[in-house]
Amino acid sequence: MALLDYFLRKKEKQVTTASKAKERLQIIVAHERHSRNKQPDYLPELTEDILNVLRKYIKVSDESFSINLDKKDGNLNVLELNIELHDEHSTN
Amino acid sequence: MARIIVVTSGKGGVGKTTSSAAIGLGLALKGHKVVLIDFDIGLRNLDLIMGCERRVVYDFVNVINGEATLNQALIKDKRVSSLSILPASQTRDKDALNKENVGKVLEELGKSYDFIVCDSPAGIEAGAMMALYYADEAIVTTNPEVSSVRDSDRILGMLASRSRRAELGLEPIKEHLLLTRYSPKRVAEGEMLSVEDVKDILSIPLLGVIPESQAVLKASNAGEPVILDTMSDAGKAYQDVIERLLGETVEFRFLQVEKKGILSRLFGG
Ligand SMILES: Nc1ncnc2c1ncn2[C@@H]1O[C@H](COP(=O)(O)OP(=O)(O)O)[C@@H](O)[C@H]1O
Ligand SMILES: [Mg+2]
């Protein structure tokens, strides 16, 4: 019955194929945009230099260190360093 | 200075050529001097949609190679005298176009036209890049469907990084979303991405929504751009696009399913 169908269909709204499509697109587009925003050329060298300075004072393995340059809205760029410190801080 | 507008999409078959023809003719009907350029080297369809295929003597590549002058290659539209078409070649080498020689042709055209509308080939390679390189504005033609939306986003990436404006650090290309082959009924049934969905994902301003319409096939059969079918839904939707391109604010139409009577809604049909 059409009237019944009408209400049943309303309930199903959340799981339509269109909403699935939107969700998938949002993920893939965000991912592709991220990888498109190429990192600047100086980043590898900067990473190397920062690591060398840090290693004068503390033990840092390659795995416990990450560096990221993110473009935020507008003209704002954020350089993000992540360093995991382990128990023995000092190298000497 | 001429406004250079590229009609682009990434994905093929979404309505770029249909839209280029409608928009070019629509702008000319408003009294502007317009030249439509077919960048789809090798395929050449714009002349067919414009209904001037039998008048093609020389083409874009002939002009590039110095085998013909621009004036020899340009075809004057029979309906609107302020509109010209520069057809693509059918068989020639796609690599004939480069930034330098295309730039020269556009510069020359810019002296005598108000609008240069570039119909882009599909893809995100050299051909599409050439069509968008010199653009001031881009009409990103998109169908409410996953692969088309994703390709449109890739084109947005190219506009922002590979265009002349991006390379010279000028003001970015003005982006417009043109949603085509839209079916409000299927959207209502949850089978098709809605205007809002696509706007959310691509986040660029909406220029128009063209409904899926039988008038488009009729128009291409006749070689009369659909904007001339002033009684059709697609024709009206393209009219609105023209108004918006010329700076008017026009309400969006054809976004809702046409209302049925209350009885048929309750009892089916
Ligand atoms: N609004 C529409 N309604 C129905 N069919 C359409 C519509 N827009 C385009 N088409 C059809 O889709 C096909 C591809 O259109 P076309 O303009 O050639 O796309 P493209 O240039 O992007 O490859 C054609 O058969 C055309 O008639
Ligand atoms: Mg085409």
Would you call A36 and B266 a contact, using CB atoms and an 8 Å cutoff? no
CA distance B161 to B135: 13
Say yes or no: A25 contacts chain B, CB-CB below 8 A: yes
CA of B21 to the centre of ligand 2 (A): 10
B245: enclosing H helix or E strand:
helix B233-245
Among all bound ligands, the one having the nearest atom to the CA of B16 is 1
B 131-150 → A contacts, CB under 8 A: 145-146, 149-150
Phi, psi of B7 (to 5 degrees): -100, 110
Q: Write down the residue that tokens 């882009």 correspond to.
A: B120
CB atoms within 10 A of CB B95: 10
CA distance B240 to B51: 23
Which chain B positions have a beta carbon within 8 Å of A35's beta carbon? none
Give how far A66 is from chain B: nearest CA, Å: 26
Give the pLDDT confidence of B109-125 residue by residue, as tens digits: 999 999 999 999 999 88
Report which of B65, B81, B69 is spatially closest to residue B113, judged by C-alpha positions.
B81
Say yes or no: A27 contacts chain B, CB-CB below 8 A: no
How much is the mean pLDDT over chain A? 76
Which chain B positions have a beta carbon within 8 Å of A36's beta carbon? 157, 161
Give the pLDDT confidence of B174-223 residue by residue, as tens digits: 999 999 999 999 999 999 999 999 999 999 999 999 999 999 999 999 99
Token reading at B131: 């069509």
Give the pLDDT confidence of A77-88 residue by residue, as tens digits: 778 888 888 765
Which chain B positions have a beta carbon within 8 Å of A30's beta carbon? none
CA distance B141 to B17: 10
From B25, B43, B216, the mutation candidate for ligand 1 (largest count of ligand atoms within 8 A of CB) is: B216
Q: Write down the residue that tokens 């280029």 correspond to.
A: B20
CA distance B118 to B86: 10
Of B161, B201, B268, which has the smallest distance from its Cβ to A2's Cβ? B268
Give the pLDDT confidence of B144-167 residue by residue, as tens digits: 999 999 999 999 999 998 999 998
The pLDDT assigned to A63 comes to 75
Q: Are strands B3-8 and A77-83 parallel, antiparallel or unpaired?
A: unpaired
CA angle B204, B205, B210 (to 5 degrees): 110
B268: alpha, beta or left? (left if phi > 0; alpha if psi -120 to 50): left
Say yes or no: A13 contacts chain B, CB-CB below 8 A: yes
